[in-house]
Structure 1
Amino acid sequence: MEAKKQVYRLQGLSCTNCAAQFERNVKEIETVVDAQINFGASKITVFGEATIEQLEKAGAFDGIKVIPVKQRAEEQQIPFWKKRTNITTAISALFVLLGYSAQFTAGENSVLSIGLFALSIMIGGYELFKAGILNLIRLRFDMKTLMTVAIIGAALIGEWGEGAVVVFLFALSEALERYSMDKARQSIRSLMDIAPKKAIIRKAGKEYEVDVEDIQIDDIMIIKPGQKIAMDGIVVKGQSSVNQAAITGESIPVHKQAGDEVFAGTLNEEGSLEVRVTKRVEDTTIAKIIHLVEEAQGERAPSQQFVDRFAKYYTPAIMLIALCLAVLPPLLWNGDWSEWIYRGLAVLVVGCPCALVISTPVAIVTAIGHAARKGVLIKGGIHLEETGRLKAIAFDKTGTLTKGTPEVTNMELIQKDIDEVELLGIAAAIERHSQHPLASAILREAERKAVDIEKWQAVDFCSITGKGAKANVNGNVYYIGSPALFAEFLTLPVHVQERISCLQAEGKTVMLLGTNKELLGLFVVADQIRESAKAVIQALHKLGIHKTIMLTGDNDKTATAIGNELKLSEVKADLLPQDKLTTIKKVREEFGSVAMVGDGVNDAPALAAATVGIAMGGAGTDAALETADIALMADDLTKLPYTIRLSRKTLRIIKENIAFALGLKMLALILIVPGWLTLWLAIFADMGATLIVIINSLRLMKVKE
């Protein structure tokens, strides 16, 4: 029987070390089978049975509050200086200063100075000692164990002042770590605050304000100008511009009218809308985004897995080195016990892995949260790192590099006794009876040019499969379709044949209109390239992407024409889904990794086989959110170079963080040889490394689109 799964949101979770400790404590509850903590999202998943009281008891050492994930809870935003731990840190600092003042006035080892330092150690290090001594009893060796041993050791050899400074600096380091993670998690908090908690619903002709949790599917929601939309739905009445920046990252408001989809958390600007609700509150696009971002931030990236494995052996190794340094020189070479114990304690302090442990998660959490606010959903640290290493990107054509809707680019008259309006009117009269995508292109063109197609009435419509259609329009039988259709009953003039060949070579589709005796004119139809596509491909090449390849089921002429215009590295046409899959595998073998950019619904095998599957238009399709590793929410190709820049910068910052964390420790350890490393210098080096790692990671919030 599968264990019951419960998810809780955590308040007051302060550091990675506390998160690991809390997870261990929860796992020790008898009725709990397993527990997984998500430090980035500040959540815990419990498999088995546990009450909130049991969970909060397990987290009492860090003052953790536990709230069921579905329960609405307003987190109290306490200013930095009003937090209890920060107040005790400030008081500890005050007693350190008073202690050093007493040394000058009453003497270095006076009862007053030792008493003030002892007070500083007890006030600032109470929580630290509580956890550290418990860890020592259980033979658990983490950073709090190291610090506890070091501070007790410093007191025993009479270094009260340095012990007090170590306590203060360690508490300050932890406060800065908490502050940085709060800043990084702010991205999720801001997403959670996007959608309103209440909405106006019309029932039986009356309007009621209700909680979003109580709204049912098919309820009619009233959205007034300037209000935020509370639920996903379809507009049934009214029209307005809706600012979708919060969901898709689009800066320009989108015009919405009856039949259009709207999303929770978007802002209705100037008109009134009536919207039929299509999803419950937990299934809205914004709810899914929040859930996926939180899950992504909890997923360990490869570099984080390395750090976690390294830290597991690193801490016991540091304790062993410190013990050897404290004991062997006095025993073997008659060294001074006090001096070598002091050096051993300094090794314990400098070996504290705070900066190393936080080096990866703070960067990953910041990057994924920042991307979500820009309309790019990255579903895990592993995908972020893989994107940063890309050298090849494959694109689907229709709907990705092109708009996906064919448009009439131009019309050409063959007979001079007919004008463009009549040519378009006859064509539209026939095509209004057809379901073919090319027919809709003709109708859109007629609407754009304000042609009154009611002047031309088509009867006896007949579709000619694969070739076109015919109908009787105002008493005459007209045909519209491919050149192959007209070649059956007409000899096409040489100049018309040449023109058709020329247009087809440019990747365009030609539709002829005429009777069974003469041609009247032709329509040139093409799937228009996205305005941003060329600039995006150029930007990718500048970023060092070696290969950009288009994969399409379209014919070779059309594909080649688009490929040449966009300056793609390679074009593969006439491909079936299995051919796309084979191509992706070959490119992956050649370059080690490849991304596939598609719509998240079609080309599923190719998206799955790629190192990174990137879906266009994630906001509109649940499939895109579910299947892709990365979703560009606004269907906006310009987000792709931004995503690659962000991923590369994240990779670079993680490497820098690890280098800073280990480099500063190596430097500090070298200072032990001449005896220059003091306890306060050791903790200062550790705090400096943590501070550098935090500030360096927060630089990711400055990555421009």
Structure 2
Amino acid sequence: MADPVIDTKFRVDGMDCAACAQKIDAATRRVSGVSDVEVSVTAGVMKVTHAAQTDLDEIVRRVDSVGYRAAPLAKAEVPVATPSAAGGHDHDHDHDHDHGGDQQDKLEGLHGHDHGSADGPWWMARKAQLTLLCGAAIAAAFVLVRFFPDYHQWIFTAAMLVGLIPIARRAFMGAINGAPFTIETLMTVAAVGAVFIGASEEAAVVVILFLVGELLEGIATGRARASIKALADLVPKMALVEANGATTEVPAERLRVNSIILVRPGDRIAADGVIVSGESAVDEAPVTGESMPKRKAEGDEVYAGTINAEGALRVRVTAAAADNTIARIVKLVEEAQESKAPTERFIEKFSRYYTPGVMIVAALIAIVPPLVAGQSWSEWVYKGLAVLLIGCPCALVISTPAAIAAALSAGARRGLLMKGGAVLEGLGKVNQVALDKTGTLTEGKPRVTDVIGVARSEHDVLRLAAALEIGSSHPLATAILAKAAEKGIAVEAALAGGAVGGKGVTGRVGEDQLFLGSPRAAAEKFKLPAELEARITALNDEGKTVSVLLVNRAVAGAIAMRDEPRDDARDGIAALKRIGAEVVMLTGDNKRTASAIAAELGLEPRAELLPEDKQKIVGELRAQGKVVAKVGDGINDAPALAAADVGIAMGGGTDVALETADAAVLHGRVIDIANMIVLSRATTSNIWQNIAISLGLKGFFLVTTVMGVTGLWPAILADTGATVLVTANAMRLLAWRGIER
């Protein structure tokens, strides 16, 4: 029997780019029992798959030795008993991921390194302190050489060593841990070589510029990390739990499903839940980006992190802290950042050959001209060292992951979740979108659209119909009751109520005997007027379901209902067409309803489809050369979601749809499907800009260095400058706002 393997996650401080991740990966894999390592730079997390007997302290020491700080992440705390509603159950939510970005992870027994913690002000990090110390030493050197010019070489060498010794140590530890060709190796060779040819002043400046570049890189990476942490911080730390007439304040992370919490005006809601009592406007902007608060009343869902603007609400908790909306976003984004995009994988493979290749080219430039053409050794060694610095792959390596991390963070803040860089890149190529109808283009629940008075007024028709439906949970009954509440109609429950199987409901209000049912069932009791029949036919052609109300066996009126399109459905489809995507609707609903909704929204309908039919149509579209995104929210959409190039689940959909899909529109806005595609294209453009900046600057300074126009200082400025430019360009994506309605 094979030995069991375990996944352990570690918090790793000080990672800035993929080169950092490669060193940590190589060092960790050398620990006995480790079978796999996944490092997420932006999340600051490493997942290690290892045997049960593996020494976790040895993993920490290995990571520690290459210049970073690591500690195993504590398991999420198990919810403890808190006052809750009857019927609540204890659930053991034991997760190995960090949901809140909580700063309670204990980094114990660690030694200081150049890479400091990402927490706190940037100047408190060890990397910043090393940079400031080295800068002060070099500044002092420039002063001292004015008084002791004969010791120029020694003074600048000493100042340079303040910064170079930690860099050289990291290069050495990387080499013995399986990563010999690192940026630190290039820097160490170049700086030492510069001292040997008498360019110690330039070597010192090169070292400080390198440290400054690393520091700026770390600050920028921290911004992307902070963007996700800010999401987790939206959830309040404490919640007011009601039980047995008393209110108790407890940590939000310990809330149990079915607990009843009190949310006062102005408070953030501490958990996902359903309103039990109360009515208020809820500001969902922190989670959904919607600018206007939404009216919420009994039975409506609310999300953790949103703000109760007006009245007090009592909310029944429907998800534990580890599973609420915010936690799901953070978890999915962290997992997405661990999944590399095709471009990123290519750049990483390229860099493995690129760095040793640069060292070979630099050596040839330094050696060949003096040996073959009798050129000056000092001149060409100097040029070789400059080429070595120009060749630092840092800007190139960070060009893709920085952009993808920023884009994933920006998307998550708008409720756009993409499961990795490959999905993010793939979305930009989509030119065909296949949309489900119910729950995707529509709300997924019927609404009253028309109230028709015949023998009674519209007010009376709605009042009497609602009287029959009190106590029913049928979707059509719920729609009628919601319409009556919207109109402010006081409803008295009907007496002697009952259902007529497959036909309708009956009851009595006062002296009036009522029947509400389908037009066919009503026609069996009383002949419908020709004018009403014509009106019903027209409503049916619009995809609406009609119920006829009889009072004392005479037609009082009729009510039409339909699952209406989402408020932004028309705008969303128009946005998809503007960006060049064709749109088709795939639905299992009848052709008449599908055609009515499609005509209203301006798209092609395909109706009366089984799940396998939807899957087949997606396959046919792909066979035509289309890059297909399938959007749906139900179990019957799962096969088609899996068959598409990109499967997108609508928010509020089933778990099956969310698990099968590659991406999710968390807040159910149709326009966000277009936003996903636009974000993907913006990210791809940003990546190519970054690659062009990186390679363009390197190519320019390579030519000017070989020609003798530029030297060591401009060489390192080219690398540092390219890194800063690439990172700053990627960070622009954090400000992405998307298409507004």
- Normalised to the residue count of structure 2, the TM-score between the two structures is 0.85
Give the 3-state SS of the residue equivalent to 1:317 in structure 2. helix
Deviations 1:26-71 (A, max 9, x none): 2222243332211110001122233347504532442414252447
Structure 2 distance, partners of 1:440, 1:231, is 26
* Matched residue type, 1:393: V
Residue 613 of structure 1 corresponds to 647
SS class of match (1:408): strand
Tell me how far apart the structure 2 counterparts of residues 452 and 93 of structure 1 sit (CA, whole Å): 77
Give CA deviations for 1:6-32 in whole Å, capped at 9, x if unaligned. 112223334432232122222222243
Following TM superposition, by how much is the alpha carbon of 1:400 offset from its aligned partner in structure 2, in angstroms? 2.0
Q: Which amino acid aligns with 1:84?
A: R
Alpha carbons of structure 1 residues 242 and 542: separation in structure 2 relative to 1, 3 Å: same
1:70-127: CA deviations, max 9, x gaps? 47535774333343322332343344455556667765xx32x212221232112222
**C-alpha displacement of 1:290:** 1.4
Report how far residue 674 of structure 1 moved. Answer: 1.9
The answer to whether the 8 Å contact 1:462/1:471 transfers is no
**Aligned partner of residue 293 in structure 1, secondary structure:** helix
Q: Does 1:346 align with 2:386?
A: yes
Aligned partners of 1:319 and 1:343: how far apart in 2?
13
Task: Judge conservation of contact 1:489–1:516 (CA < 8 Å) in 2.
Answer: no
C-alpha separation between the residues in 2 aligned to 1:413 and 1:225? 41
Asked whether the 8 Å contact 1:91–1:120 carries over to 2, the reply is: no
**Aligned with 2:723: secondary structure?**
helix
What is the count of residue pairs matched by the alignment?
695
Q: Secondary structure at the match of 1:377?
A: strand
Distance in 2 of aligned mates of 1:139 and 1:704: 40
Aligned-partner Cα distance in 2 for 1:131–1:442: 71
Aligned equivalents of 1:200, 1:381: Cα separation in 2? 40
Give % identity: 41
SS at match of 1:394: strand
Give the match for residue 666 of structure 1: 699
**Aligned equivalents of 1:146 and 1:392: distance in 2?**
47
1:454 alignment partner, SS class: coil
Q: Is 2:271 the counterpart of 1:231?
A: yes
Secondary structure at the aligned position of 1:271 is classed as coil
Aligned to 1:529: 565
The alignment status of 1:653 with 2:658, answered yes or no, reads no
Q: Would you say the 8 A contact 2:23–2:66 is kept in 1?
A: no
Choose the corresponding residue for 1:579, options 613, 634, 638: 613
1:286 and 1:145, CA in 2 relative to 1: closer, same or farther beyond 3 A?
same
How do residues 293-304 of structure 1 correspond to structure 2 at under 5 angstroms?
293-304=333-344
Question: Contact 2:23–2:179 (CA<8 Å) still a contact in 1?
Answer: no
CA contact (8 A) 1:86 1:175 kept: yes
Q: 1:492 to 1:209 in 2, by over 3 A?
A: closer
Tell me whether 1:130 sits opposite 2:169 in the alignment.
yes
**What secondary structure, in the 3-state scheme, does the structure 2 residue paired with 1:359 have?**
helix
Three-state SS of the structure 2 residue aligned to 1:507 is: coil
Aligned-partner residue type, residue 587 of structure 1: L
Q: Which amino acid aligns with 1:92?
A: C
Q: Identify the residue that residue 90 of structure 1 maps to in structure 2.
A: 132
- Aligned position for 1:116: 155
- State yes or no: 1:700 paired with 2:739: no
Q: Per the alignment, in what secondary structure is the counterpart of residue 664 of structure 1?
A: helix
Residue matched to 1:18: 20
Cα distance in 1, alignment partners of residues 486 and 40 from structure 2:
53
Q: CA deviation at 1:343?
A: 1.9
Q: 1:419 aligns with which of 440, 448, 457?
A: 457
Report the counterpart of residue 562 of structure 1 in structure 2. 597
Residues 198-597 of structure 1 correspond to what in structure 2 (within 5 A)? 198-202=238-242, 206-414=246-454, 417-431=455-469, 436-451=474-489, 454=492, 457=495, 459=497, 461-463=499-501, 465=502, 468=504, 480-485=516-521, 495-514=531-550, 519-545=555-581, 547-568=582-603, 570-597=604-631
Q: AA paired with 1:179?
A: I
The answer as to whether partners of 2:332 and 2:419 remain within 8 angstroms in 1 is yes
CA distance in 2, matches of 1:523, 1:221: 38
- Residue 2 of structure 1 aligns with an amino acid whose one-letter code is P
CA–CA distance in 2 between the matches of 1:228 and 1:139?
48
Query: 1:655 Cα shift?
Result: 1.1
- In the superposition, relative to structure 1, how do residues 583 and 551 fare at CA in structure 2: closer, same or farther (>3 Å)? same
CA distance in 1, matches of 2:465, 2:254: 51
Taking the TM superposition and a 5 Å limit, the aligned residue runs for 1:51-130 are: 51-52=56-57, 54-70=59-75, 72-73=102-103, 77-97=119-139, 99=141, 110-111=150-151, 113-130=152-169
- Asked whether the 8 Å contact 2:435–2:441 carries over to 1, the reply is yes
What are the superposed Cα offsets for residues 627-667 of structure 1, whole Å, 9 maximum, x if unpaired?
Answer: 43222222223333333222211111011111211121122
The amino acid that maps onto 1:616 is M
Once the two structures are TM-superposed, the CA of residue 432 in structure 1 deviates from its matched residue by: 5.1
Amino acid at match of 1:353: P
Q: What are the ranges of 5 or more consecutive residues in structure 2 without an aligned counterpart?
A: 77-101, 105-116
Residue 719 of structure 2 is aligned to residue 686 of structure 1: yes
* Corresponding residue for residue 38 of structure 1: 40
| Aligned-residue offset at 1:267 | 2.8
> Residue 304 of structure 2 aligns to a residue in which SS?
coil
What is the CA–CA distance in structure 1 between the aligned matches of 2:7 and 2:67, rounded to whole Å?
24
Partner of 2:181: 141
Quick one: distance in 1 between partners of 2:627 and 2:201?
55
- CA RMSD in angstroms comes to 3.1
Partner of 1:632: 665
Equivalent AA in structure 2 for residue 604 of structure 1: A
Aligned partners of 1:249 and 1:634 also within 8 Å: no
1:646 to 1:184, Cα distance in 2 relative to 1, 3 A:
same
The residue matched to 1:265 in structure 2 has which SS?
A: coil
TM-score between both structures, scaled by the size of structure 1: 0.89
More displaced stretch, 554-563 vs 344-353: 554-563
**CA distance in structure 1 between the partners assigned to 2:551 and 2:298 by the alignment:** 39
- Which whole-Å CA distance do the structure 2 matches of 1:412 and 1:195 have between them? 46
Moved more, 492-501 or 346-355: 492-501
Deviation at 1:162, TM superposition (A): 2.0
Per-residue deviation, residues 123-149 of structure 1 (Å, max 9, x unmatched) = 122221112234456671122211211
Q: Contact 1:233/1:278 (CA < 8 Å) preserved in 2?
A: yes
The farther-off stretch of 343-352 and 604-613 is 604-613
Matched AA of 1:565: E
* Kept after mapping to 2: 8 A contact 1:551/1:575: yes
Structure 1 gaps, min length 5: none
Letter in 2 for 1:64: R
Alpha-carbon displacement from aligned partner over 1:136-172 (angstroms, at most 9, x marks no partner): 5667112221121111111112221221222111111
Conserved in 1, the CA contact under 8 Å of 2:23 and 2:174?
no
> CA shift at 1:241, angstroms?
3.5
Name the CA distance, whole Å, in 2 between partners of 1:445 and 1:204.
Answer: 35
Matched to 2:500, the amino acid is: C
Change (3 A) 1:344 1:413: same
Distance in 2, Cα, partners of 1:220 & 1:495? 52
Residues 430 and 241 of structure 1: CA distance in aligned 2, closer, same or farther (over 3 Å): closer
Which of 166, 169, 189 lines up with 2:209 in the alignment? 169
Q: Return the offset for 1:559.
A: 1.9
Structure 2 CA distance for partners of 1:209 and 1:468, relative to 1, 3 Å: closer
In structure 1, what is the equivalent of residue 94 of structure 2?
Answer: none
- Alpha-carbon separation, structure 1, partners of 2:440 and 2:568: 11
SS of 2:608 mapped into structure 1: coil
Moved more, 214-223 or 142-151: 214-223
One-letter code aligned to 1:16: A
Pick closer, same or farther for the CA change 1:424–1:100 going to 2, 3 Å. Answer: closer
Retained in 1: the 8 A contact 2:468–2:493? Answer: no
